[in-house]
């Protein structure tokens, strides 16, 4: 962009303000249309109006459509009709476009006033001549004007039905007939911009739809996975309080947690894992204590059995058979079936009993 571009834009903005008046808080021009026309006719001569028109046309062709700049151009054209004729711009066509834009912005009354002013001016003077200070005040109409009007109507019909490509085609036909129709060139540019905007909106919608589908698929997949894991977790055999059932349930839960690194109900499973491990540890410790106590008691009984056996054998050697028999029987009662001395003591008891029967 050249260094003169900001100055040119500033000049165009000054022209727009001079023609349309100040802007209110809603962005609407506050001056009445007839007052704007009167000021444009009284304050600007034909040469100044021509300079303003060229600046406005260049800005409208170089940038996106600007409502206030287009309105300023039409106000200038209503005050100095020969300017629009010189640039092959249709006051009715541009006025209709501006009125539609004003209505879309909620300025219905201003749009109505604009159309009424244009129709009244066209009805009172077909040439729309207000200022005759120029030699070009009455230029002849271009050739094939009827054909151009037909093409413009076709373009309007296509544009109203949303057929932008067809509308651009008919407008290009107009430019081929009359290359000085800068307004038609601007219409083509605006339609292309609208088409690109429409394509961009469609692309955004497709992206949003695709994102929604992806998110929906993820949600559905997560929901199915959560349901499956919950069913597996609920299907684990319940505990009955004994060590075996606790170990089986813990093993099953460990398998579910190991196979599924994360799910929304995982915290409950982890808490139950900790609880089961604590309970299993407690039961195992209690069982170990009982086994240890049983081992100690067994060892004590074996010691007592050994003492009773020693006393019994000693008494038998001394000939105190009745006392010996009592101690040996006590040794048998204290010992278990796996005691290594059991068979020997049993044989001695039977021998003493048999001897005592013969001695009677």
Domain span at 171: 142-235
CA distances 149 to 145, 153, 188, 322, Å, are 6, 6, 16, 148
The pLDDT of residue 64 is: 59
Residues 276, 243: Cα–Cα separation, whole Å: 10
Torsion over CA of 114, 120, 121 and 124, rounded to 10 degrees?
A: 180
Burial status of residue 20 (CB atoms within 10 A of its CB: 0-12, 13-18, 19 or more): buried
Task: Please tell me which residue, 245 or 61, carries the higher pLDDT value.
Answer: 245
Same domain as 213, residue 112? no
**Angle at alpha carbon of residue 120, lines to 116 and 126, rounded to 5°:** 135
The pLDDT of residue 18 is: 66
Of all residues in the chain, what percent carry a pLDDT higher than 90? 9
Same domain as 339, residue 231? no
Backbone angles phi, psi at 29, to 5 degrees: -65, 135
Most confident of 84-93, 111-120, 135-144, 218-227: 218-227
**Average model confidence (pLDDT) across the chain:** 78
The pLDDT of residue 130 is: 34
308-321 mean pLDDT: 87
The pLDDT of residue 11 is: 61
Same domain as 194, residue 275? no
Same domain as 7, residue 130? yes
Same domain as 84, residue 4? yes
Task: Please tell me which residue, 317 or 37, carries the higher pLDDT value.
Answer: 317
Report how many domains make up the chain.
Answer: 3
Task: Please tell me which residue, 1 or 348, carries the higher pLDDT value.
Answer: 348
Strand partners, 7: none
Residues 93, 100: Cα–Cα separation, whole Å: 11
> Would the pLDDT of 13 be above 90?
no
Residues 56, 64: Cα–Cα separation, whole Å: 12
CA distances 238 to 1, 241, 269, 313, Å, are 79, 9, 14, 58
Which CATH number do you get for residue 180?
Answer: 1.25.40
* Backbone Cα Rg of the chain: 55
Residues 323, 160: Cα–Cα separation, whole Å: 130
Same domain as 86, residue 166? no
Same domain as 354, residue 247? yes
Same domain as 150, residue 107? no
Q: Which of 113, 140, 167 is the last residue of a domain?
A: 140
The pLDDT of residue 210 is: 93
Of 323, 108, 65, 38, nearest to 197 (Cα)?
Answer: 65
Same domain as 330, residue 274? yes
Give 60-114 pLDDT, tens digit per residue.
766 556 777 777 777 877 777 777 777 777 777 777 777 877 777 788 888 888 7
170-193 mean pLDDT: 80
Same domain as 281, residue 261? yes
Least confident of 38-42, 50-54, 149-153, 299-303: 38-42
3-state SS, one letter per residue, for the chain: CCCCHHHHHHHHHHHHHHHHCCECCCCCECCCHHHHHHHHHHHCCHHHHHHHHHHHHHHHHHCCCCHHHHHHHHHHHHHCHHHHHHCCCCHHHHHHHHHHHHHHCCCHHHHHHHHHHHHHHHHHCCCCCCCCCCCCCCCCCCCCHHHHHHHHHHHHHHHHCCCHHHHHHHHHHHHHHCCCCHHHHHHHHHHHHHHHHHHHHHHHHHHHHHHHHHHHHHHHHHHHHHHHHHHHHHCCCCCCCCHHHHHHHHHHHHHHHHHCCCCCCHHHHHHHHHHHHHHHHHHHHHHHHHHHHHHHHHHHHHHHHHHHHHHHHHHHHHCCHHHHHHHHHHHHHHCCCCCCCHHHHHHHHHHHHHHHHHHC
Least confident of 81-95, 101-115, 125-139, 308-322: 125-139
Question: Quick check: 206 and 81 in contact, CB under 8 A?
Answer: no
> Would the pLDDT of 307 be above 80?
yes
Same domain as 79, residue 197? no
Residues 84, 93: Cα–Cα separation, whole Å: 12
> Would the pLDDT of 223 be above 70?
yes
Of all residues in the chain, what percent carry a pLDDT higher than 70? 81
Torsion over CA of 118, 121, 123 and 126, rounded to 10 degrees?
A: -110
Least confident of 83-97, 258-272, 339-353: 83-97
Task: Please tell me which residue, 27 or 217, carries the higher pLDDT value.
Answer: 217
Q: Which of 140, 155, 188 is the last residue of a domain?
A: 140
> Would the pLDDT of 215 be above 90?
yes
Same domain as 184, residue 310? no
**How many CB atoms are closer than 10 A to CB 54?**
12
Residues 275, 200: Cα–Cα separation, whole Å: 58
Q: Which of 140, 173, 192 is the last residue of a domain?
A: 140
> Would the pLDDT of 132 be above 70?
no
- The pLDDT-based confidence of 22 (bands split at 50, 70, 90) is low
């Amino acid at each position: 962009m050249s260094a003169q571009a900001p100055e040119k834009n500033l000049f165009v903005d000054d022209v727009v303000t001079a023609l349309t008046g100040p802007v209110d808080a809603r962005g609407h021009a506050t001056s009445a249309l007839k007052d704007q026309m009167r000021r444009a006719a009284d304050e600007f001569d034909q040469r100044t109006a021509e300079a303003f028109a060229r600046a406005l046309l260049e800005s409208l062709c170089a940038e996106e459509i600007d409502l206030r700049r287009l309105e300023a151009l039409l106000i200038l054209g209503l005050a100095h009709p020969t300017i629009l004729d010189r640039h092959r711009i249709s006051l009715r066509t541009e006025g209709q476009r501006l009125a539609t834009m004003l209505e879309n912005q909620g300025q219905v009354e201003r749009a109505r006033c604009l159309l009424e002013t244009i129709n009244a001016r066209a009805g009172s003077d077909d040439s729309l001549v207000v200022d005759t200070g120029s030699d070009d005040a009455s230029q002849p109409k271009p050739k094939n004007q009827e054909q151009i009007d037909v093409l413009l109507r076709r373009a309007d019909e296509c544009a109203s039905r949303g057929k932008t490509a067809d509308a651009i085609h008919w407008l290009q036909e107009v430019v081929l007939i009359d290359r000085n129709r800068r307004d038609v060139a601007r219409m083509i540019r605006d339609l292309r911009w609208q088409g690109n905007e429409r394509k961009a909106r469609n692309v955004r919608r497709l992206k949003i739809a695709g994102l929604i589908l992806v998110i929906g698929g993820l949600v559905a997949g997560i929901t199915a996975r959560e349901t499956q894991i919950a069913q597996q977790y609920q299907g684990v055999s319940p505990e009955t309080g004994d060590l075996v059932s606790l170990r089986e349930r813990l093993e099953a839960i460990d398998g579910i947690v190991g196979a599924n690194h994360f799910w929304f109900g995982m915290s409950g499973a982890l808490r139950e894992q900790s609880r089961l491990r604590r309970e299993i540890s407690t039961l195992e410790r209690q069982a170990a204590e009982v086994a240890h106590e049983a081992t100690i008691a067994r060892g004590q009984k074996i010691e007592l059995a050994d003492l009773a056996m020693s006393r019994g054998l000693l008494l038998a050697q001394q000939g105190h058979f009745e006392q010996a028999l009592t101690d040996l029987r006590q040794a048998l009662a204290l010992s278990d079936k796996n005691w290594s001395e059991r068979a020997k003591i049993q044989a001695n008891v039977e021998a003493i009993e048999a001897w005592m029967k013969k001695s009677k």
